[in-house]
């Protein structure tokens, strides 16, 4: 009797195992994939301050009337410059709008010379400082910004020398003019950026003159190439 029960139990276990093998298996859940990490896009919007250093060069030539005699005058010079700047950017898509102002002391030195009738004159020419107030329009490629810039420029020029007949003299003039240029700026780390920039500075509204000058006309131009560093808030 026990043998029959054992045999029956074995057959029941085998039958149950066979039936379970025929049942469909539960689907295995696919592993959960982490969400893709989006690359951080640099945002140029905000206020910034910084400093700059560079090189400037200028030249001028024209005609003048000294003591009633028509004549000519010319000058040229170059030198280091350095100062500070501040500005604000607004970014919309890849387009960046901005305003910037800067002022720098200049070590530009040169010379001037000319003659009018019996008068002969010459000496040293110097730029005392240069400042600008400009707009900026740029294209941002993540951490790179390529831009054009333009606006107003102001400063002071000075000449000192001798006029014969006459003697020694010194003359200076504050001026306003326009400026146009472009540059490229890139982010370094955290809130720091570095830029390289070129500016063309137009004819000044006023120039220093030699004694006995009743009129002067001509053209003058200056160029500035500089690098700078900014901290963005």
pLDDT at 216: 95
In a domain, 172, yes or no: yes
pLDDT at 40: 63
- Output the tens digit of pLDDT for each of the chain's 233 residues: 444 333 344 433 433 444 444 545 555 555 666 555 445 689 999 999 999 999 999 999 999 999 999 999 999 999 999 999 999 999 999 999 999 999 999 988 999 999 999 999 999 999 999 999 999 999 999 999 999 999 999 999 999 999 999 999 999 999 999 999 999 999 998 899 999 999 999 999 999 999 999 999 999 999 999 999 999 99
Report helix, strand or coil for 188: coil
| Whether pTM exceeds 0.85 | no
In a domain, 90, yes or no: yes
Q: Do residues 158 and 125 lie in contact, with contact meaning Cβ atoms separated by under 8 Å?
A: yes
Q: How many helices (H) and strands (E) does the chain have?
A: 1, 9
Token reading at 120: 């002969």
In a domain, 60, yes or no: yes
Q: How many domains does the chain have?
A: 1
Task: Residue 148: name the closest of 137, 159, 156 by CA.
Answer: 137
In a domain, 17, yes or no: no
pLDDT at 132: 98
In a domain, 145, yes or no: yes
Q: What is the CATH number of the domain that holds 178?
A: 2.40.160
Q: Do residues 157 and 109 lie in contact, with contact meaning Cβ atoms separated by under 8 Å?
A: no
In a domain, 194, yes or no: yes
Q: What is the rounded CA–CA span in Å between residue 12 and residue 7? A: 9
Domain limits at 112? Answer: 46-232
Q: Do residues 184 and 136 lie in contact, with contact meaning Cβ atoms separated by under 8 Å?
A: no
pLDDT at 29: 57
In a domain, 15, yes or no: no
How many angstroms separate the first and last alpha carbons of the chain?
A: 94
In a domain, 201, yes or no: yes
């Amino acid at each position: 009797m026990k043998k029959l029960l054992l045999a029956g139990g074995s057959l029941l276990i085998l039958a149950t195992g066979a039936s379970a093998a025929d049942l469909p298996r539960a689907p295995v859940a696919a592993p959960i994939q982490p969400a893709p990490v989006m690359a951080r896009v640099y945002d140029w919007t905000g206020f910034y301050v910084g400093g700059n250093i560079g090189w400037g060069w200028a030249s001028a030539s024209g005609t003048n009337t000294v003591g009633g005699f028509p004549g000519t005058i010319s000058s040229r010079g170059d030198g280091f410059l350095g100062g500070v700047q501040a500005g604000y950017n607004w970014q919309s898509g890849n387009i960046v709008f901005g305003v910037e102002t800067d002022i720098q002391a200049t070590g530009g030195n040169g010379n001037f010379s000319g003659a009018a009738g019996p008068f002969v004159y010459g000496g040293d020419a110097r730029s005392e400082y240069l400042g600008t107030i400009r707009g900026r329009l740029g294209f941002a490629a993540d951490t790179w910004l390529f831009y054009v810039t333009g606006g107003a420029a102001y400063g002071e020029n000075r000449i000192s020398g001798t006029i014969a007949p006459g003697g020694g003299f010194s003359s200076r003039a504050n001026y306003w003019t326009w400026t146009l240029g472009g540059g490229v700026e890139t982010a370094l780390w955290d809130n720091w950026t570095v830029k390289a920039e070129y500016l063309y500075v137009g004819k000044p509204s006023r120039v220093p003159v030699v004694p006995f000058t009743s009129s002067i006309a001509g053209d003058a131009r200056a160029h500035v190439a500089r690098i700078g560093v900014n901290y963005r808030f």
